[in-house]
Amino acid sequence: MERIDIKPACVFSPQPMYIIGTRNEDGTPNFCIITWLGFSFDNTPHIMMTIGGSKLTKTNILRERAFSANLITEDNIWLADYFGCSKGEFGAKNTVKYNYHWGKSVNVPTIDDSHWLYECEITKIIELEGSHLFLADIKNIQIDKQYENMNMERIDLRELRPAIYSPYNYFSIGEKLGDVGEWKKHLKE
């Protein structure tokens, strides 16, 4: 395989997307899309999330030190797209009807149409050049009742149907390629 170099940029960063829920100063909910989100573990599971620029969501997180991360799936992608294309700094995002509830463990809004969501409290904030990196302890996970018997050690993403973001495009999960440890079936020793 011959490779070429390209300039580091946001050209290829396929990842699941989340509707981030925060509490506005007046107590109303605010939602936006964030794709710069990953997971880590340090005694408890954590979310790592970066938010750049000026965003109401970032302002709310800096003040409240909490947020919800609602997995975006094939059936709620267009609600998420609406949140991502609307700026909370310009007024309430209420052009489209949606339902929400407040978290069970953390005082954050959660989207009713989300099948899998995390309630998080910030444990550390790292200020970068124009961005903030938030490390958050996952305090509660809510999942749709239809997944209560799912094997949590071997989650089948085809059942959850997460939407995947690759700059300016949305994709769904395709076929399963195999299980961990099957390399001997596919590679020669």
Confidence category of residue 184, pLDDT binned at 50, 70, 90: confident
pLDDT in tens, 134-169: 999 999 999 999 999 999 888 889 999 999 988 888
Q: Look up the pTM and report it.
A: 0.90
> What's the CA gap between 30 and 148, in Å, rounded?
28
Residue ranges of domains in the chain, CATH in brackets = 16-184 (2.30.110.10)
Spatial neighbors of 176 by CB under 8 A, at least 6 apart, are 156, 158
